[in-house]
Chain A
Amino acid sequence: SQQGEEDPQALSIQEGENATMNCSYKTSINNLQWYRQNSGRGLVHLILIRSNEREKHSGRLRVTLDTSKKSSSLLITASRAADTASYFCATPFGNEKLTFGTGTRLTIIP
């Protein structure tokens, strides 16, 4: 099944720095989503970017999508301890399913 793959698998940065994580996928898509998962909790939706959009912002989050390279990036600016979590990209598979990558584990060091 189609699946996005996040890179890096793990990332540690100092509080206040920016964090960038990437997602690559295999086939054409009409949208891509990013989710956050705090330890022991369910996933929380962050942003959905459509294939005709190159960039989207939400607060301190910026997502880009490059359909020619089949890749997306999630940038978190001015990181905070509360941003410590795992981040997943998700891509549609068929009309009714969403497939997830294995995630990037982000640790913010106070």
Chain B
Amino acid sequence: NAGVTQTPKFQVLKTGQSMTLQCAQDMNHEYMSWYRQDPGMGLRLIHYSVGAGITDQGEVPNGYNVSRSTTEDFPLRLLSAAPSQTSVYFCASSAHREGDSPLHFGNGTRLTVT
């Protein structure tokens, strides 16, 4: 049982490059979300989805796009990477609405933008 799988584990980008962080879950969870974790800032919500075809913005959405074409996958796209996007990114899923149900996290993608 894989749970939430994130790829890649590490990535280095140059300013201005674009890339997609992949997230897949095999638990048939409706709710998925992306967080970034920075030292001293805790986790901040970037985007979330309550089901296939439905996405919404979180606390820090600028510079990121998401889509949810299937229940299983929720990729996060960085359109034009900036050094301020250097962070650890976590994908999470939950069976019910996120505020009322435990989150299952992936192991993260550590992104460095130079």
Query: Which B residues between 31 and 50 are near A, CB-CB below 8 angstroms?
Result: 31, 33, 35, 40-43, 45, 48, 50
In the bound complex, residues from chain B placing their C-beta under 8 Å from that of A88 are 42-43
What's the A-B contact tally at a CB cutoff of 8 Å?
A: 70
Q: How large is the interface on B (under 10, 10 to 19, 20 to 34, 35 or more residues)?
A: 20 to 34
Interface locus among B12-20, B68-76, B79-87, B99-107: B99-107
CA–CA, A42 and B59, complex, Å: 20
> What residues make up the interface of B, taking CB atoms closer than 8 Å to A?
4, 31, 33, 35, 40-43, 45, 48, 50, 56, 58-59, 90, 92, 97-108
Residues of chain A having any CB pair with chain B under 8 Å: 1, 3, 30-31, 33, 35, 40-45, 48, 88, 90-103
Q: List 29 A-B contacts (CB under 8 A).
A: A1-B59, A31-B100, A33-B103, A40-B108, A42-B107, A43-B43, A43-B105, A44-B105, A45-B104, A48-B101, A90-B103, A92-B99, A94-B99, A96-B97, A96-B99, A97-B33, A97-B45, A97-B48, A97-B58, A97-B99, A98-B45, A98-B98, A98-B103, A99-B59, A100-B42, A100-B43, A102-B40, A102-B42, A103-B42
